[in-house]
Structure 1
Amino acid sequence: MKKHTSSEAILLLEDGTVYKGKSLGRIGTSGGELCFNTGMTGYQEIFTDPSYYGQLVVTTVSHVGNYGVQHEEVESDKVQISGLVCKEFSHFFSRKTAEGSLQEYFEKAGVVGICEIDTRALVRHIRDKGAMNGIVSSEITDVEELRKKLAEVPSMAGLELSSHVSTREVYHLKPDEVKFRVAVLDLGVKRNSLNNFMQRGCEVKVFPYNTPFEEMEKWNPDGYFISNGPGDPAATRDAVASVKQILAKEKPMFGICMGHQILAQANGIATYKMHNGHRGLNQPVKNLLTGKSEITSQNHGFVVDSEQLRNHPEVEITHINLNDNTVEGMRMRTKPAFSVQYHPESSPGPHDSTYLFDEFVALLEESKNNV
């Protein structure tokens, strides 16, 4: 393994705060919305999660890169983050099954980052001040020049990003024994979501984010899955239109993360940008239907308006976040549709929420038996 030589790097925040550290990944400049992830493991899954598109990820765990990378742990076909901010970045790895170092992986993917800064201070700053844009550079040392470049980075509010991460072509996956057909509206779907359907005997056909309902319906699916994805759900209008038609057809539907927010929008329930989102694999959620709690994997900066949801005659809240009481799940009262704000595929864990895939399959079976 070749020895990597770090250069100086700068992180500039939207409010003018400057951090100086060492470079990681490719030498360059990259901007995006700063967000922090509280997970202790699973960095490769985080970096390849399409929901992180357009964001600079700050890891709260001290060491990143120590177990290298391997192909099975990707959630999409490329690295999706705009850049990485961390405390200690390991250029060496100890896992025998790893296929290479995170540094080599980032260099190949063109990812820019900064390490050896006080990430605890940075996270406290973001937590208090709220989500904001930032820019990382290992090639520009002039803060004023960086400030001009940072001004060009768009705000996440009002930004449609699913078009940047969705599949361009329809594709499908088929298990050995097919029980059901599930049409997937790809707003930024993760591979492990598709794996969960395959494991349950579901053939999946994945459609681009802006596919009209009529086009998906030609395949005659038993139900629909509305995936996670990046950006502002209020700006993802094509998906909202499709979900309205799925509801009108009364086909079984399951939405996660962005899909959850799109279901709210389709019912006239507003979503809004949070002071700080939920990102990590240790978010406590209570299932109001069972009274049980689960530890969940999450990645979102927008949330459904709880007051509007509670006052809606056709929708009810099924899950709440135990840290801040925000809406984590809902279901339609008279239609076979439900959604959660978190990621039940939960790769690399925890797996408390995979039961939701079973509940959707049960809904598919019930719907098929009633035909």
Structure 2
Amino acid sequence: MKIAVAGTGYVGLSVALLLAQHNEVHALDIVPEKVSMLGKAISPIVDKEISDFLQANVSGDRPLNFQPTLDPAQAYTGAEYAIIATPTNYDPKKNYFDTSSVEAAIEAVRRYAPEAWIVIKSTIPVGYTQQLQERLRDSRILFSPEFLREGHALFDNLHPSRIVVGAPQDDEQAVAAAHTFAELLVQGADPQEMRRVNPDGTTGIPELVVGLTEAEAIKLFANTYLALRVAYFNELDTYAESRCLDTQSIINGVCLDPRIRSDYNNPSFGYGGYCLPKDTKQLLANYDKVPQNLIGAIVEANRTRKDFIADEIIDRVADIKNPVIGIYRLTMKSGSDNFRQSAIQGVMKRIKAKGLTVIVYEPTLNTPDFFGSKVIRDLTQFKRESDIVVANRWNDDLGDISGKVFTRDLFRCD
């Protein structure tokens, strides 16, 4: 089967490689450099499994029918399924995701493949796909949320917790196409997953074909719950720090409860990254005229946490004349190349607003400064020039200066 994928970010590239094990997959992007790298079997994003897949394809150990391209005609002509995985950033002025890239991709698909089933995998507002179907008078549009971690996108596709596809439940053709797409994803997953036992006693990968809007809601509510977990344990840490208590002891005791467990319990400077900040805000916007307290509190709690962390850092350098505060890495978490909405940037902005000098250690940046703060790529120089080093996530490279490192990474994990 020929399948086209629009977008080669974490979502698009990982699903393209997954499906290319058993199908002819054309991965379309508008950035020539990314397509060129993929053509040379080099991953444009940090993800070990993706890199391994590309190299295994070259060596012949895992043959893939995978063709990166800049040409929409090549990608879409003859495709039975076209997957849209283009970026949808949250627009705070409109309280809405910017879905222009999704609609541009759909227009291009229809130019070359008027009968293809389109599957949106970009994150979108609740109710968007149904509205789009009605506005475009196009009933062959489905929605399938992704549940991927940065740096482990392909691994999570190979070992999915569940597969969800949204289709109008009164449209037999659409429901059948949704089931077919779900089976394509199952076919590409690790065969071991078919033998796993789920908490409800079933075996294999759970497949849910639900309504379009329900599928969209599953995505936003799942990510907002994860944000809630992060915010909850961050507020626990804020309380313990303010009362001079041992945060780690409290978290360990709380998480021994089997109903709570130890997922997403490691304190940080706040939740960040591609998904959680924008998804929580979009879900809150979707609550217009619907009673709520909790969703808004999650968004506000993340701001409060950054305020607290910034104040803690400022307090620790209060006795130093003209202190230099070093920011160790701008990435959202270890093993990621993503700066977007990283919590440490929010902390950095609050510190700079107080007139303090901030320098940044970020070896992946090739610019001399980052929003006016000097960028240093030599770690030894960075350590020497910093009076305090602020690290959202610990790294053993900081072991020799542990006495001047500020972090809340108690469990040394993401």
Larger of the two Rg values belongs to structure: 2
Same fold per TM (> 0.5)? no
Task: Specify which structure has the higher proportion of helix.
Answer: 2
Give the TM-score taking structure 2 as reference length. 0.28
Task: Specify which structure has the higher proportion of strand.
Answer: 1
Give the TM-score taking structure 1 as reference length. 0.31
